[in-house]
Structures are given as structure tokens and as C-alpha cells.
Homo-oligomer: A and B are copies of this chain.
Amino acid sequence: MLTRKQHELLRFIQARLEDSGISPSFEEMKDALDLKSKSGVHRLISALEERGFIRRLPNRARALEVLRQPDDAGPTRVPATVSVIDAPAAARPVARSIPPANDVIEIPLHGRIAAGVPIEALEGQSMLPVPAALLGSGEHYALEVSGDSMVEAGILDGDFALVKRTNTARDGEIVVALVRGEEATLKYLRRENGLIRLDPANAAYEPQIYAADDVEVQGKLAGLLRRYH
């Protein structure tokens, strides 16, 4: 999954966060990896972000967060901090005196979804409070959207998709589709003579066609949350 350098950098960031709590700057990472320029670091960071190992606030200094460990987990705390959006459950283990107002529902944030990348399962890590008005009936969960394959449908990188769990969907609906048990993606669903077509909403990507058996609908898009900084 990671190259040698990426791995090395990830470990370094992890270590720094654990003992000082302060993100290393590009300059510091540059030295740690024994490079002579920050550009290399920049690329490595981008790669790590793309692969879902870290998250960062764009255009902010020292704003790194480790989301996943490389597979050789190492002597580190496991789940690591998973929430940017205030994880009430995790951050405050204790009694919530006042129940969330009754027009609000807490739904689990299951991880991220991107075109071509499996959902990172983060089961129960954090909950996201959502106005009930945004959801219909049924069980829902949230996914953070990664990538730009649905931009033309107004779904941007970093948005939170609120998904209703269901196995069925109608043509033209936006669904979370699991392909061959491997890749989960957010796409328009369309059926064509026994086959299933998953359409992105971005001219830069191609529609994909699969046998009906290869595609499992895991839910359909019920709402969307976005945050501007």
C-alpha cells in the first residue's frame, strides 16, 4: 500500500503527534527524511492523503491528522483520532445529561468513500448529529466523500453523504454500490438490459457497466452536509 518513503514519513508524523501533540512542519519532515527540499515532502504528504492515511486542513500550517496506521501497526495506540467533526461518543465518554433534541438524530460515521477505493470501515468510531428533517425513515449512516467523481451532482470532496441503508434503488438514484465485494463507490444507478451501469457525475470519468450479480446496493443517498471554513 505504501512506498518506503511514504511509510517512513507516516511513522514520523505519528511519532511526533504522540509525543509533542504538535504537527511537524514541512521543514521538520524534510530534515527527518534527510531531504534538501520541502517539495518532496509535499508529494509524499499528498500521496498519503490520497490513500487515506492522513487528513489535513487545506492551506493550514501544521494541520495534519493521522487516520490510519500502516499495516504493521507498531507500538501505537490503535484507533487514533478519527474525528474532525467532534466525535461526541469518543471525546466524551461520560453521561450526556441532555438528550439530543428530538428533531435530531445521531448517525454513525462509517468512514470515507471514494471512487475505486474500498470504504474504510471505522464502525462506531464517531457519531454525527443530523437534523431529522434531512432524513426519512429507516436506518442511516454517514460517509465522508473523497474524490471528485460526483462534482457535477453537487457532491464535493469532503462532503458528508447521509446514506439510507437499503438493498434496492430506482434508476437514476445515487447509491452506495459495492462492486464484487471490493470497491464501494457513490454513483448514479442505472439498469440496462440485465446489466447495471454506474454513472459518475464528472465528464472526466467513465460510466462502468457490471453484471447485476457483481453489484450490491448498500444504500442510497438521502442527504448531504458540507462545511465551509
Alpha-carbon gap, A173 to B229, bound state (A): 9
Task: Check if B81 sits within 8 Å of A67, measured CB to CB.
Answer: no
* Contact residues in B for A84 (Cβ distance below 8 Å): 51-52
* A and B contact pairs by CB, cutoff 8 A, 5 listed: A2-B21, A51-B57, A79-B92, A81-B94, A223-B226
Task: Check if B227 sits within 8 Å of A225, measured CB to CB.
Answer: no
Task: Check if A51 sits within 8 Å of B63, measured CB to CB.
Answer: yes
Q: At the interface, yes or no: A85 with Cβ under 8 Å from chain B?
A: yes
* Contact residues in B for A228 (Cβ distance below 8 Å): 173-174, 220-224
Task: Check if B1 sits within 8 Å of A70, measured CB to CB.
Answer: no
Q: How many of chain A's residues touch chain B, expressed as a range?
A: 35 or more
A125-140 contacts to B, CB under 8 A, are: 128-134
Residues on A lying within 8 angstroms of B by beta carbon are 1-4, 7, 17-23, 50-52, 55, 57, 61-65, 67-72, 74, 78-79, 81, 83-86, 88, 90-94, 98-104, 106, 128-134, 151, 154-156, 159, 173-174, 220-229
Alpha-carbon gap, A226 to B101, bound state (A): 20
Known: A72-B17, A93-B79, A154-B154. A134 touches B225 (CB 8 A): yes
Within the complex, the shortest CB–CB distance from A132 to chain B, in Å, comes to 7
* Contact residues in B for A155 (Cβ distance below 8 Å): 154
Known: A72-B17, A93-B79. A3 touches B229 (CB 8 A): no
* Contact residues in B for A3 (Cβ distance below 8 Å): 22-23, 61-62
